[in-house]
A and B are shown apart, each in its own frame.
Chain A
């Protein structure tokens, strides 16, 4: 296992107010420690609000307008001739749902914002309510498992695809189980957005939340690794429209292995697991096609 590049100066300071084994804490600390102190961070309502003390600037925001607050900060620093990382660390709620409008606007305008979505697939901070990122059939406190309906009935959105279609210069998916890959993507976003000022960079990291997904905290990295190795959470980047798969698992593991660890899927029928598997397999195959086509195009 390759070691991540040395972090010489911490920006984040433990302890954080999050749960044991929290993926968000990991995502936030690697993000800010990699991007460095010359950063102004915007954190809307989310578990990210518990990401602890940070030795960098912070601009406040209300829930729906993180992208707009970041826009103001980015434009303000620019007007003053300063080059500062303007970073948003938002949850799935603040990215997929209530934050979608302002994010779409910022992406379209080409604002120089690094957007990190720590996606734990529900409104965890307020008590595990479902969001647009919650997978189909997952238990949440607003899609409970009852006699009539069991879990969320709709499939979840693909925000990375939505951002891609906006035409932003950088879209990537990362994982807490693959730290060097995540940090490399952060550095790339920094170059494209903060240094080269070419517009919004979007990095979505699956935040495998033990509390909301109902499994033991010590398994947090293992679940994140399984998400990648089942093909559910492909690690890729799209830089100026060019697709690159940054990790290709040697073998694809069955979805059942991923689903069965998590209490939020414990009620799934075999039929539902099969449907999920089919969907994941289809999508993974499309990802491979895309990767191969891109590799061919680049020669």
Chain B
């Protein structure tokens, strides 16, 4: 293995490094906070000749997705990044990109839909029905590693579905971390040049879009299910070369051995949760942590297994769907565990909306409530909003907020 240089860089810079290492051939980009530094860095690489890609400074995100899709259609490895309203603006193209089965990898530094520039997961949750693989990453190292793996997964002929690699806007995108940069020759051996299954090359004219043929939609679902194995394989293969593994690629367990209650988290909140769970374990509480990395395809099997092991599952997430009464991950987790012979109690914790922080005491509250449900077999309140105005008791208790 080549030397992995250690550097102190932000999440955005880490993503740009991964894209360069992946030898992307066409980058299409439109600026949006907090993604802009990714594409600024990439355009620097291109301008310096470090990345031999065609860089398209497109005039809007709707066009961005169109361009990235058709560039992939010619057989190139492509990339773009966007988030928040930009992702929403591209929705018309985002929602139909899986139809052509041209592999596309994008990075999304999660930004709330609405008037803020700060983080929550409402942007990517709004796209969760669009046939994209969605992977949520905890920190800069993971987003770097996952972007590289994402190209391998997307281009695999068993998959050929577009991939969103998510990381928290500002929290991860703009925070500096000490990370290891994979050596180019090792990335080349992990990720060889793309072998397109079919393209829009005129030498072989083909129809490249199945117009909503139901059986084709079924095929796309099969591809999504196949992606689970491909993601797991990529995760393992990457670990062998670079020495870093992220659970099984779909979920990652932390201190779950002998746990009676498990808290499920996504993205950077996981980092905070590790601290809390470790502390509480030290105090004798049988609480574990499960990081949900792959939201699409949803790892139903992992949760079915969990259902047989614990008495309560808490789901802490950074999104909520108005009118459904809870967040999206909560629904998916519950649904996955519905047929378990003994169903664990489930509680939803909505936190970190609109850029507000997920704090230690929020996670602690979530762990305590989940443990309570495991111990008493009762859930007093199914959905907790971790919003200071709604939780004065907690604020008073911890002195925070």
Contact = CB atoms under 8 A, between A and B. Distances in A.
Interface of A: 37-40, 42, 54-62, 64-73, 75-80, 82, 84, 101-102, 104-105, 108-109
A55 B207 CA distance: 11
B70 A61 contact: yes
A105 B63 contact: yes
A72 B73 contact: yes
Contact of B73 (A65, A66, A71, A76): A76
B59 A59 contact: no
Contacts of B54: 75-76, 78-79
The SS class assigned to the A binding surface is helix
Given A68-B64, A78-B54, A101 B208 contact: no
7 contacts: A58-B205, A68-B63, A71-B67, A72-B71, A75-B26, A80-B25, A102-B60
Contacts of A37: 202
Contacts of A82: 74, 201
B232 interface: no
Given A75-B56, A105-B59, A58 B74 contact: no
Given A37-B202, A68-B63, A73-B71, 12 more contacts: A40-B74, A40-B201, A40-B202, A54-B205, A68-B58, A68-B66, A71-B56, A72-B66, A75-B56, A79-B26, A101-B59, A108-B59
Interface string B44-77: 0000000001101111101111111111111110
Given A101-B60, A109-B56, A65 B74 contact: no
Contact of B200 (A40, A54, A71): A40
The SS class assigned to the B binding surface is mixed
B172 interface: no
A237 B70 CA distance: 30
Contacts of B74: 40, 72-73, 76-77, 79-80, 82
Contacts of B209: 60
B45 to A, nearest CB: 15
Contact of A58 (B71, B76, B78, B200): B200
List 8 A-B pairs, minimum CB-CB distance, nearest first: A105-B59, A76-B74, A68-B63, A65-B66, A72-B70, A72-B67, A72-B71, A68-B66
Nearest to A54: B205
Contacts of A102: 59-60, 62-63, 66
Contact of B202 (A39, A42, A61): A39
A67 B63 contact: yes
Given A38-B202, A57-B201, A77-B74, A65 B62 contact: yes
Interface in B7-35: 25-26, 28
A101 B64 CA distance: 12
B23 to A, nearest CB: 11
A82 B203 CA distance: 11
Given A40-B202, A58-B208, A59-B70, A76 B96 contact: no
A37 B202 CA distance: 7
B93 interface: yes
A109 B29 CA distance: 13
A102 B74 CA distance: 20
Contacts of A67: 63
B100 interface: yes
B70 A42 contact: yes
A72 B26 contact: yes
Of the listed residues B63, B67, B78, the one surrounded by the most CB atoms of chain A closer than 10 A to its CB is B67
Contacts of B73: 59-60, 72-73, 76
Nearest to A111: B56
Nearest to A36: B202
A167 B50 CA distance: 31
A67 B64 CA distance: 11
B58 A105 contact: yes
Given A75-B71, A79-B26, A60 B62 contact: no
B202 A75 contact: no
A80 B25 CA distance: 8
B56 A62 contact: no
Of the listed residues B25, B28, B73, the one surrounded by the most CB atoms of chain A closer than 10 A to its CB is B73
Given A79-B25, A79-B54, A101-B59, A60 B208 contact: yes
Given A56-B202, A109-B56, A62 B63 contact: no
A76 B70 contact: yes
Contacts of A54: 205
Contacts of B93: 62, 65
B67 A56 contact: no
B92 interface: yes
Of the listed residues B56, B69, B71, B92, the one surrounded by the most CB atoms of chain A closer than 10 A to its CB is B71
Contacts of B71: 72-73, 75-76, 79
A250 B63 CA distance: 45
A227 to B, nearest CB: 32
Contacts of A104: 59
A120 to B, nearest CB: 24
Nearest to B73: A59
Contact of B76 (A39, A62, A79): A79
